[in-house]
Chain A
Amino acid sequence: MDWVAVRLTLQLAALTTLVLAVAGLPLAYWLATTRWAWRPVVDAAVAVPLLLPPTVLGFYFLMATGPDSAAGRVYARVAEGTIPFSFTGVLLASVLYNLPFAVRPFASGFAAVDRRLIEAARCLGASRLRTFVTVVLPLSWPAVLAGLVLAFAHTVGEFGVVLMVGGNIPGVTRTIALAIYDDVQALDYASANEASAVLLVFAVSVLAATYALQRRTLPL
């Protein structure tokens, strides 16, 4: 096993999941409760990575964050190096690419919470934030957990976006999925088989756990 790649992969998946929890929960709550007319557009923007080839997202990401782009120039001023071909770049792209895997389960979990309970909490003096923490989250945590688990697992198995945005730099952007690709290219089928089997078992267990979570009935 390429333990450097394993560590890097887990690091990327954990950080991606963390960022999605911090940014994705409020976004999902907004999507689940807003009456804004343009909401379908935001819904579509969140869901589009499900349909796009990773190369398309990667391509636009490279264009938008390259050294000559506005984002690239700002980044050059505050940090060393460039966004593309760095861990930061892969992390950012990975967050964007995994948005639907986290936000969609979150939002459907929140939307399933009885609106009257939210109204009751507000009428009892609870702010929006307190209502979210004391009423919405406790009643939708299986969906939230499912979203986090899916985002984590999907990042572990990511290939195209990481290759496009990160290149294939050992210890910086080379995840297990890329290592398997390299092994196959080098005809090292034994190593490829070992890592592939681990990923396969991991994916099946995660999906089984997620489905089990979704079946869990809420205390109503």
Chain B
Amino acid sequence: MTRLDVDIEFRYEAGRQGPPHGESLTHAAGVLCRWSDPVGEARVTVLLGASGSGKTTVLRCLAGLEHPQRGHIRFGAHTWFDAAARVNLPPDRRDLGVLFQDYALFPHLTVEQNVAFAAPRFVGGARGPAQRARVSELVDVFRLRGLERRLPRQLSGGQQQRVALARAVFRRPKLLLLDEPLSALDRPTREEVREDLRTIVRTLDIPTYIVSHDRADALTLADRIVLLDEGRIIQSGTTREVFDRPATPAAARLVGVDSVVLGRIASVERGIARVEVAGQQVSVEAPAPPGHEAALCIRAEDVAIARHAPVDISATNRWRAIVRSEVPEGPFVRVGLDCGFRLAALVTRDAWQRLALRPGDEAWAIVKAATIRALPRD
């Protein structure tokens, strides 16, 4: 099985404000990273970190755009970089596709020419039947039909991203690197394009690394997550492992949402999905058809607690739970509940005193379906 084997130390040059491109660097003085990943079966890994965590630098080192001071990068049998042996393959010899944060489309070339740029001996367009067929295939896959002769500035953000992706995969690279693929888009477009991107990376069948600061990207796109903080890896594992059990407080902050619950959609009726999670049923706006996996994000402030089973109430999610913990938080109390999955609730001190519950007691958790954010995964 092909492995990506990374062990790098990168120090930002004195007098240079952080990495030359991308995020401004606030705390980390460099990047110190080591991981080894099987990438043989196509998988999507999200490098998740706050801005300044060095994630873009890691990606640039992988692409060969930055030169670490120490360490090595090996991809399968190929050594891309080895400081000790003075090996540093230039980006054009690493056989990878890169999607840049602002897409970096060539402004003087049409959509078609941008897509065909990676063709051998490219001068101004696709040459020969094989190249033309590949362009045509990608134009279909990335829904660019009718836009072939346009210039990048005549495209919307989502269209630009699809052109950049088509361009990156033209020569069927062995590895795909996406740098903050959604951050250049405004919010409504982002949600839409994220859906698209999920379908696309699944169908491409190329191992993919995605750099992102947005946990929604990780939940939607990732098979595996690598958490980066101050230039170091603080946790890595499957999406479920990392979101269910953040290893450190820093990891928990990064993973963010108070409760993330992963489950399978059992049925969908009138737009509302029933998601089965650890023996409980959760009703949410359907993110995908039945049979698919979904990640449910529940904010603590949206969870209400009752002593007895609530009746005559509009909220559709009512789960029997055991109180596990209570932690004061300003005028509120953060209550840890176990409903078969962990759930955090934020209630006022008064309300908590009225309920007179303590750890070990049985209670009911109530969540309106409309407040749960459901993200599709698979």
Task: List the interface of chain A (C-beta within 8 A of B).
Answer: 114-117, 119-128, 130, 134-135, 138-139, 218-220
How far, in whole Å, are A120 and B114 apart by their CA atoms in the complex? 11
Contacting residues, chain B, for A124 (C-beta < 8 A) = 92, 97, 117-118, 167-168, 170-171
- Counting CB contacts under 8 A, is B86 at the interface? no
Inter-chain contact A114/B151, CB cutoff 8 Å: no
Say whether A122 contacts B91, CB under 8 Å.
yes
Does B297 reach chain A (CB closer than 8 Å)?
Answer: no
6 closest pairs, A vs B, by CB? A120-B104, A124-B118, A123-B98, A122-B91, A116-B104, A123-B91
Is B108 in contact with A139, judged by CB distance below 8 angstroms? yes
Q: Give the complex CA separation of A56 and B107 in angstroms.
A: 45
Name the distance in Å between B305's Cβ and chain A's nearest Cβ: 51
Chain A neighbourhood of B122, CB < 8 A: 126, 130, 134
Scan residues 84-114 of chain B and give those whose CB is less than 8 A from a CB of chain A. Answer: 90-92, 95-98, 100, 102, 104, 106-108
Q: How far apart sit A56 and B153, CA to CA, in the bound complex (Å)?
A: 51
Q: Which residues of B contact A139 (CB under 8 A)?
A: 107-108
Q: Which one of A117, A122, A127 contacts B106 once the chains associate, using CB atoms below 8 Å? A: A117
List the A residue with the shortest CB-CB distance to B96. A123
Establish whether residues A127 and B104, one from each chain, have CB atoms under 8 Å apart when the complex forms: no
A122 touches B90 (CB 8 A): yes
Instruction: Tell whether, in the assembled complex, residue B63 and residue A138 are in contact, meaning their CB atoms are under 8 Å apart.
Output: no
Contact (Cβ within 8 A) B100 A120: yes
A–B Cβ pairs within 8 angstroms, 15 of them: A115-B20, A116-B21, A120-B104, A121-B106, A123-B91, A123-B92, A123-B97, A123-B168, A124-B167, A124-B170, A125-B95, A126-B117, A134-B123, A138-B108, A220-B107
Q: Which residues of A contact B96 (CB under 8 A)?
A: 123
* B interface, CB within 8 angstroms of A: 20-21, 63-65, 90-92, 95-98, 100, 102, 104, 106-108, 117-118, 120, 122-123, 151, 153, 167-168, 170-171
How far does the alpha carbon of A115 sit from the alpha carbon of B66 in the complex, in Å? 13
Check B92 against A115 for contact (C-beta < 8 Å): no
A-chain residues with CB within 8 Å of residue B106 when the two chains form the complex = 117, 120-121, 135
Kindly state the separation between the CA atoms of A218 and B167 in the bound complex, as whole angstroms: 23
Partner of A219, one of B21, B92, B107: B107
Main secondary structure of the interface of A (DSSP, over half): helix
Contacts of B170 in A (CB 8 A): 124
CB distance from A131 to the nearest CB of B (A): 8
- Residues on B with beta carbons closer than 8 Å to the beta carbon of A134: 117, 122-123
Instruction: Tell whether, in the assembled complex, residue A116 and residue B108 are in contact, meaning their CB atoms are under 8 Å apart.
Output: no
Known A122-B92, A123-B96: A219·B63 in contact at CB below 8 Å: no
Measured in the bound complex, the distance between the Cα atoms of B93 and A130 in whole Å is: 14
Give chain A residues whose Cβ lies under 8 Å from the Cβ of B102: 116
Collect the chain A residues with CB atoms within 8 Å of residue B168's CB.
Answer: 123-124
Supplied contacts A117-B107, A122-B65, A139-B108, 10 more A-B pairs, CB within 8 Å: A114-B104, A119-B65, A123-B64, A123-B97, A123-B168, A125-B171, A126-B92, A218-B107, A219-B107, A219-B153
| Complexed CA–CA distance, A106 and B98 (Å) | 29
Q: CB-nearest residue of chain A relative to B103?
A: A120
B108: contacting residue among A119, A125, A219, CB under 8 A: A219
Question: Which residues in A have their C-beta under 8 angstroms from that of B21?
Answer: 115-116
- Contacts A122-B91, A139-B108: A116 and B123 contacting too (C-beta < 8 A)? no
Q: How far is the CB of B168 from chain A (nearest CB, A)?
A: 7
B61 to chain A, nearest CB (A): 13
- Cα A153 to Cα B152 with chains together (Å): 37
Q: Report how far A123 CA is from B63 CA in the complex, Å.
A: 7
CA of A119 to CA of B62 in the docked complex: distance in angstroms?
Answer: 13
Collect the chain A residues with CB atoms within 8 Å of residue B64's CB. Answer: 122-123
Output the nearest chain A residue to B113 by Cβ-Cβ distance.
Answer: A134
Contacts of A119 in B (CB 8 A): 63, 65, 91, 100, 104
Minimum Cβ distance to chain A for residue B342 (Å): 42
Indicate which residue in A114, A120, A127, A128 contacts B98 across the interface (CB closer than 8 Å): A120
Q: A219 CA to B113 CA in the complex, in Å? A: 15
Is B100 a contact of A116 with CB atoms below 8 Å?
yes
Nearest chain-B residue to A114 (Cβ)?
Answer: B104
Q: How far is the CB of B159 from chain A (nearest CB, A)?
A: 17
Considering the complex, give the chain A residue whose CB is closest to the CB of B16. A35
Query: For the complex, what is the distance from the CA of A109 to the CA of B151, rounded to whole Å?
Result: 22
Centre residue among A117, A124, A128 by max chain B CB count within 10 A:
A124
